[in-house]
Amino acid sequence: MVYTATMPVCTWLVMLGLLAAVVDSTADPDDITTCGGYIRSSVPIPYQNIKIKLLTRSNNLKAEAEGAPNNGYFLLPAYDRGNFQLRVEGPSGWTFEPPAVDLLLDGTKSDPCSKGKDINFTFKGFSVIGKVVSAGSSDGPEGVPVTLVENGFRRTLLTQKGGSYVFPAVMPGLYKLEFRAQITDVNVTNDNFVVDKSTTFIIEGYTVQGSLTWTDSRPTSAWAVLAVNGAPDDASAAAICCGRSPAPSRQLPKVAGFSMSPGLRVACVAQIDLDNGGKFEFPCVKSARISSDYAIFPVAMTKSGKAMEATPYHSTVELIHDDLQLEPFKITGFPVDGQVDDVGEGTEIQVVETGFETVTDAKGRFRLPGLRSGQYTLLLKKRGFQFDPKKVTVSVDHTTLPAIRPDRFEVCGEALVAGMVEIHITKEGSTLPGDITKIFSDVSSGRFCVLLTRGSYVLRPVGHVRLSPAEVLLKVPEATGKRFLFSQFQAVVSGRITCVGGICAGVRVELRAGAGAPSQKHTADSSGAFRFERVDPGTYEVCVSHPSLCFEKECQGITIVDKNLDDVRFSQKGFVLRLDSTHNAELEIAAKVLQVKAGLSTHCVVEQKPTPLTLLGCHRFAHSNNLMFRPRNEETIKLVAESHRLKVNVYTKIIVDDLRLTVKSGEETRIVELKKHIAATSDSNSSPPYLYATELYQPANKEVVLELNSASLVFRPSQTVLQMPNDCHSIDLHGKTGIFIQGSIKPAIAGVEIVVTVDGAMPSDAVRVLTDANGNYRAGPLESARYTIEANKEGYVFERMGATNNLNGIKFSRVDIIVLQKDTKAPLAGALVSVTGGPNYRNNSRTGLQGELSLIKLAPGSYYIRVMMKEYKFEPVSELIEVTENSEKRVEIFGKKVAYSVMGRVSSITGEAESDVELEAMSEACDRHEEDATSDENGHFRIRGLRENCVYQLQLKRGDPDTPTSSRRFERTLPAVREVHVGREDQTIDVLVVRPQRGTQLSVTVDVPPALLPSLRVAIMTGGRQLYNLQAASFVVVPGELPRDGQEYSIELQHVSGETVAGNESRSDGSGSSIGASTATPNTSVTIRADRAYRHVELRCSASLANIAGEAGGSGPDATAPPTPFVAVFSVFVALAIIFRNDIADFVHRRQQDAPNAGGDRRGKNKTR
């Protein structure tokens, strides 16, 4: 098909206008599938303790129910379609057959739930639960066999982690449990049998083995010591080693240098067999409670009786319910002791040959472990000292080193002047120039240090301003750690503060130096005098402060050169008023008004005596009547706004005398009198001419309910609910003049709900009243005289008597079940009520608009009632009632909303509703909770059961990963993922979906004189093949789509004879426009790449190039007329139509289907679950 620019403009405008069309539709109430059945048992069990769960393929919970206590019946609602699993879960250890049933709920009525068939679960038995434990532990080994015996029939299984075991599906009866030589009796009655402590199987202990190895030094004797941590006494420790007679030895070997960690007690000692590879064994050791309870120490002794070193020093025993083979211990050497004098603790020592490092203790002592006979080099280091490397020789017979002393000592001082100072150091009594050591102080800190050998020295500063002292005599090492100071001139800075009343006591004065330098602080005396001493030359800032005084200026700069400064002056201005206000306010003091900003603020007040403070504005502050400014008071006055003004304006067209405003705020309800009417000022003649006003004061964030009442006026809405902002606020309300109707129920029936709905009004605006004891009612005020009347009371049917407002009522016997919201006591409509009684009676129904459900003509007996509704939890969970003949009962059940919904409409970008679109909402943070829904034929969806305070990702439901992307109906939503923050209310969110584009659409503009178009054609070719040959027109749309395969396609302008029109070739620039398209250069051939959804090219040639001017046969004005601007604009519209052609086609198709039924019934079944 070829679209040309000569097609009627109206046709294009109508087609393009469809892009903005939106279809509105209304969904019917939700349809629910229910799954029910019985829990069967051959022995009595409490059915109410058994839960039936409806789970998704992802194991997400959709619904849950308990078995009825009288007969085990259960019922579950299924709101969604898809693959589910019905799973039975009883108390831990109970077994059922089958444990679960898979369901496919696809709306085809082929599953048991849709067919109304029972799904039954059979109880198979309880569990025998026990444990094999290690002595002294609450756990035991894994993988040891335990056997259950009944009348010769044996069932054997292996223990699990911790030694526990469970025999499932055991019916009541007598059994025996066997483990090795131990046997215990089991009596299963009406619950799981749990083996108690007296009959638990116990393993006394396990074997621990190990060995000690050496290379060149065999010990004379050796032992292995098993120690226990945390034993309260020796008897408890001795009990760790078991199963031997006589009792194993606990005598700790007396070896110099061997010790154990504090808190360890010896459990037993084993002799190491040095002639048999150094092996040792502890044949019976009780299992450790934790891995660090036991430790094994190797003890090896030399001929001299000293302990040799072994690695590891000890082995932590992880004796967790199994025998243990330790890694071997290995003799590594012997320790060598030494001492460093004259330096105290903290000397770092390194053994060059081994790399071992250590630090001396408080007495200068150190130990070098793991040495063998030979020579070693020691490197010693400590701040303030210098050591030369020390060569030492050690052997087994010589394990103590001679004392070590430092070779040089550090002497430090400080020059308290700016700049670098040169210091000369000479030995006492020396006069030779070569004996002088020169050092320089640090420029920034003035500090200097030097390392000196033992002796007496003289320090002299030279080459600078005169410093004090001129020289210092010191001795090394006695001078180590002392600080020698050289300083220069320091000034005295003083001044005075003038205060009101002449009393300045407590004023703080601070002398501040430059950035980063320390400051001096002083307190002025009662006369205001202050003084700073030892001030170095430089520039400073002097500042005064007092918590209750304010000054003319708080800081001033000074400069110190070489003289004292004594003329620094300050003057007090007034007293400080500190305020901390929650809101902006005006504060009046002594006829002056201060502007107070919210938060902390300070103000300087000149008043010298206590002065009252008055708050102005539309806020009411706490304790505002007792505010007082007191000079020299350092406390901050807190201004806390307790309430804010709420101005209520009511506009009416008539004067009324009974207008009352009911204000509900929390638990408080009060009637507020409105001010007498005054003429309302307005420039509009249609505005109500009367105004009633009042002012209320309410605290911030308080929920306020305003309800206006008048016998003559109607207010819509009837109540106005607002949350008081944290500021002053006003609200305008309007009242309309109303009418009243009255009637009665025949015969008289009290408590009938009369619903009067004005024509055209929303159902929520209907007037609802109850009949009195005589069956009479009066409803109003109403906005219109055209209305409908409905009467509702469960167990009754009502008919209107002609054109009157009276109704006839017919009563049935019944049981009334009322389902209400727990917090508001409002009726809960649509709740699923399951009623079971006797062996076979079942009734599954939903409550009406008033939360009511009537059960009529029930046989006498006991009935079990359970209410279910997604997003609600009900109290009581279930209720058992007794029904007698011809009786009436009323049962109230309360539901609390515990989850919420996201609802809305799914549409394409053209606005058309999209049905059967699967959406999901998933929260990663809330246990990956997931809910989903499918849109109905009107595009409406509702995702139920979203948890409060969770954030969900709303998107298209993720399909089967094996399904190719190209076969999916929709590519994504716009946006692809939307975050939904769930609070305490349902939300409405509309969703746009995008269909995938799988081809490239091509359009061509031909720029030639119109008269030449009949002689030209447009050809599209690829790989030497011609795909299309189309009649040329000002605008050509190639029918169908080119495959989006990234291949190159050539578009040429040809004569009708098939010859290519001569001209320049042009290649696409990759954006869909041809190069050179904006110039006058003829382009008769263009190459493009099919790699996107839409491409557009332009072909152009002149009459001379076409060489067909004489054949055109036209010479009028149209023969040479240039293309009009309409072609360019028209191209844009057609391009949009091409991109969205699928949506437009669907839209037109649906409109054509709906046209014959215009004005008819367009209701449809809602597929949203």
User: Where exactly are the structural domains of the chain?
Assistant: 33-119, 125-203, 206-332, 341-394, 408-476, 491-543+560-574, 575-641, 642-737, 739-811, 815-897, 999-1123
Q: Where is 557: in which H helix or E strand?
A: strand 555-560
Look up residue 282 and give its two tokens. Answer: 């502890």
Q: CB of 568 within 8 A of CB of 493? A: yes
For residues 1038 and 1004, is the Cβ–Cβ distance under 8 A? Answer: yes
CB distance 342 to 371 below 8 Å: no
Q: Cβ-count burial of 796 within 10 angstroms (0-12 exposed, 13-18 middle, 19+ buried)? A: middle
Do the strands 33-40 and 121-134 form a parallel or antiparallel pair, or are they unpaired? parallel
Q: Six-digit token pair at 986?
A: 């349902």
Tens of pLDDT, residues 438-452: 889 888 888 999 999
Quick one: which of 129, 168, 172, 194 has its CA closest to 41? Answer: 172
pTM of the model: 0.39
642-737 classified as CATH 3.40.50.2300: no
- pLDDT given for residue 839 in this prediction: 60
Tokens, residue 423: 């210091």
Same fold flag, 125-203 and 575-641: yes
CB burial of 691-723 (b: ≥16 within 10 Å; e: otherwise) equals bbbeebebeeeeebebbbebebbbbeeeeeeee
Identify the CA nearest to 934 among candidates 30, 211, 305, 26: 30
Task: Domain 33-119: state its class.
Answer: mainly beta
Residues 357-373 as b/e (b if ≥16 CB within 10 A, e otherwise) read eeebeeebebebeebee
Of 707, 706, 700, 705, whose CA–CA distance to 724 is shortest?
A: 700
Q: For domain 999-1123, which architecture applies?
A: Sandwich (2.60)
Instruction: Determine the Cα–Cα distance for residues 1164 and 745; give it in Å rounded to an integer.
Output: 36
pLDDT at 1154: 47
Helix axes 1141-1154, 1125-1139, angle to 10 degrees: 80
Nearest to 1061 by CA among 1027, 1024, 1107: 1107
Of the candidates 404, 414, 356, which has an alpha carbon nearest to the alpha carbon of residue 382? 404
Contact 772, 778 (CB under 8 A): no
d(CA 448, CA 24): 90
Query: φ, ψ for residue 1109 (rounded to 5)?
Result: -60, -40
Provide the pLDDT for residue 2: 39
CA-wise closest residue to 797 among 811, 787, 816 = 811
What does the pLDDT read at residue 246?
A: 62
Amino acid of residue 1050: S
Q: Decide yes or no: CATH 2.60.40.1120 for domain 341-394.
A: yes
Architecture of domain 206-332: Sandwich (2.60)
Using the structure block, give the residue that is written with the tokens 């003083």: 494
Q: Are 289 and 321 in contact (CB under 8 A)?
A: no
Nearest to 552 by CA among 574, 577, 534, 568: 574
Q: Which CATH class is domain 815-897?
A: mainly beta
Hey, what's the torsion of the CAs at 1153, 1156, 1159, 1164, to 10 degrees?
A: -40
Assigned architecture for domain 408-476: Sandwich (2.60)
Residue 1105 corresponds to which tokens in the numbers above? 């190039």
Going by C-beta distance under 8 Å and a sequence separation of 6 or more, which residues neighbour residue 997?
A: 1044, 1093, 1139
pLDDT of residue 962: 54
Q: By the 8 A CB rule, do 1101 and 1060 touch? A: no
Residue 883 pLDDT: 82
What is residue 763's three-state secondary structure? helix
Q: What is the pLDDT of residues 48-82, one digit of tens each?
A: 899 999 988 878 777 888 888 888 889 888 877 78
Count the neighbouring beta carbons within 10 Å of the beta carbon of residue 156.
11
Query: What CATH architecture does domain 575-641 belong to?
Result: Sandwich (2.60)
| DSSP state, residue 364 | S
- Please say whether the beta carbons of 1051 and 1085 come within 8 A: yes
Q: CB neighbours of 386 closer than 8 A, spacing ≥ 6? A: 406, 407, 408, 409, 410, 451
Q: For 39, list phi and psi in degrees, rounded to 5.
A: -100, 120
Q: What does the CA dihedral 792, 797, 802, 806 come to, rounded to 10 degrees? A: -50
Element (H, E) at 670: strand 668-673
Q: Which two tokens stand for residue 285?
A: 């050791």
- H helices of 276-317, in order, are none
Determine whether 466 is exposed, middle or buried from the number of CB atoms within 10 Å of its CB (0-12, 13-18, 19+): exposed
* Alpha carbon distance, N-terminus to C-terminus of the chain: 44
**For residue 35, how many C-alpha atoms fall within 13 Å in the half-sphere facing its CB?**
31
DSSP-derived letter for residue 340 is B
User: Which residues of the chain are modeled with pLDDT < 70?
Assistant: 1-31, 243-247, 289-292, 304, 396-397, 464-466, 515-516, 562, 677, 679-687, 795, 797, 810-813, 838-840, 857, 885-886, 959-968, 1058, 1062-1082, 1102-1169
Cβ–Cβ under 8 Å, residues 65 and 35: no
Contact 714, 782 (CB under 8 A): yes
Find the length of the chain. Answer: 1169
Per CATH, is 125-203 categorized as 3.90.1150.10? no
Strands 889-897 and 815-821: parallel
- The yes/no answer on whether domain 739-811 falls in CATH 2.60.40.10 is yes
Per-residue CA distances from 250 to 281, 288, 302, 817 (Å): 14, 19, 22, 79
Rg (CA), the chain: 50
* Secondary-structure breakdown of the chain: helix, strand, coil percentages, each rounded to the nearest 5: 10, 50, 40
Q: Domain 491-543+560-574 is of which CATH architecture?
A: Sandwich (2.60)
